[in-house]
Amino acid sequence: MSTYYLACDFGAESGRLMLGTLDGGKLALEELHRFPNIPLDNEEHGLHWNIQELFAEVQKGLAIAGARGLPISSISVDGWGVDYFLLDASGEIIEPTFCYRNERNQDGVDHVFSKIPWEQVYAQTGIQFIKFNSLYQLGAETPERLKQAATVLPLGDGFNHLLCGVAKAEASMASTTQMYDPRTGNWSTPVLEAMGWDPSMLAEIVPSGTRLGILKPELADASGLGDIEVIATCSHDTGAAVAAVPSTPGEDWAYLSSGTWSLIGLELPEPIISDRSRELNFTNEIGYGNSIRLLRNVTGMWVVQECRREWEKLGQSYDYAQLAQLAEEAEPFVTLINPDDDCFFSPDNMIQAIDDFCRRSNQTVPATHGAYVRCALESLALLYRRRLEQAAELTGRTLKYLHIVGGGSKNALLNQFSANATGMEVIAGPAEATALGNIILQAITLGHVKDHADGRRIIRESMDVEVFQPQDASTWETAYEQFSKFGA
């Protein structure tokens, strides 16, 4: 007998509603509805999210699902970390919901560090410094907005709240805020006290795989879905993606969730919070079953995405397969960049940012579109090597396999570059890891799948992967020496 689940997955470029079908020990996915996710921008607020429009698109997806007439068991939302809803006392959203790329973030950093030093923040939370973490975004809020706010609710959990009316912060998402202590499993009292924030303002934390409630009556009726359950699986999209990594037991593998951002690291039983992990800026986020995702959040396909956007403005449109082909035809190792350099975070023009980096580092400016893409992909693969070497240093593990999941796993050229750069066997896929993790955790929560190990087995046996073996070791070693000069 088949069982059915809905995963609502919000990414930095788009959102979608996915139908998961579990039948005979195999899991299948179908995209029901996809919609763009582009932040609004104006002089008053800067970059912020159009939450009303996004939720209207979710409701369109629910109606499409309801029209199928299937006995759907449950739904869960996942999304990117660090952004949040502010809810008033009646549970309504206080607009705007700011985007993590908003220029206000530096003001928040300055405000937080005037109250509590960075070393203490890291000692309490074990989360890497990124200036858009929720802690700094809250630090940039006006006193008026904070006074009006009854609840701070991470974004993915915020959409679960819109579905069922229950406002809880799921642990994997809470851990991204830099206000969570991974050793106690609760909000960090020292951090909140230093900021003068009432801990009751933050939503109650619940573990991954919590049954929140049923779909609101008006949504149930309008969609035709009825009283399906809303479950907090891993509300953080990377937490869901890592839950779907089709690994076998052992400590010799790493993961890379590859998309706009690249999340690269290891799955551990306990956090590593030390002076050295702070120096290397590694983060300790929560995974399913209270596991630890020791990782670095690094720039991923963002550089390529922004180059593509600039070329579209000039009248030249490419799909990602075409860009990969152009890169493959370009000359190797003409130019390298540090994708994590601040100049690539949110430039007005990514092409110009690459050109400026090349001039500052006395390198040849890319001459063709393919050269720009090849530069970005080669540099990204070398950055992966650096981060995996650092993760191995922190844990003492010897790594042999790199599981690449997410949309970036479809980029065969980057996968091969990653194998070449790291010297590790790369296992690419599934591309839909976030939705798969979301759905398999729903199935576990409802008792339809035995446990996480069984869930990973089901994904391993249901989805195709592609394996890439390292090549051209000496050439990539030389490139790594050059890349190492850029301070990544």
* One-letter amino acid of 443: A
Sole residue written with tokens 């956007």: 309
Side by side, the strands of the sheet bearing 253-258 are: 283-286, 292-299, 261-268, 253-258, 401-405, 425-428, 466-468
Sole residue written with tokens 């000692």: 123
**Backbone φ, ψ for residue 56 (5° rounding):** -65, -40
Sole residue written with tokens 């997410």: 406
Contact 228, 416 (CB under 8 A): no
Q: What CA–CA distance (Å, rounded) separates 88 from 268?
A: 37
For the chain, the residue count is 488
Q: What CA–CA distance (Å, rounded) separates 49 from 38?
A: 7
Q: What CA–CA distance (Å, rounded) separates 393 from 421?
A: 17
User: Is 249 in a helix, a strand, or coil?
Assistant: coil
Question: In terms of DSSP H, where are the helices of 361-408?
Answer: 369-395
Token pair of 196 as six digits = 């003068």
Catalytic residue among 237, 319, 342, 454, which?
Answer: 237
Q: What CA–CA distance (Å, rounded) separates 41 from 36?
A: 15
User: 85: closest CA among 159, 21, 35, 16?
Assistant: 159
Judged on CB neighbours under 10 Å (0-12, 13-18, 19+), 173 is buried
Q: Which conformational region is residue 128 in: left (phi greater than 0), alpha (psi within -120 to 50 degrees), or beta?
A: beta
User: Is 35 in a helix, a strand, or coil?
Assistant: strand
* One-letter amino acid of 138: L
User: Is 28 in a helix, a strand, or coil?
Assistant: strand
Q: What CA–CA distance (Å, rounded) separates 327 from 331?
A: 8
**Backbone φ, ψ for residue 35 (5° rounding):** -150, 150
Contact 218, 209 (CB under 8 A): no
DSSP state of 236: B
DSSP letters, 263-280, are EEEEEESS---SHHHHHT
Residue 363 neighbours by CB distance under 10 Å:
17
Q: Is 237 annotated in the active site?
A: yes
Token pair of 316 as six digits = 């030249």
Residues classed as catalytic: 237
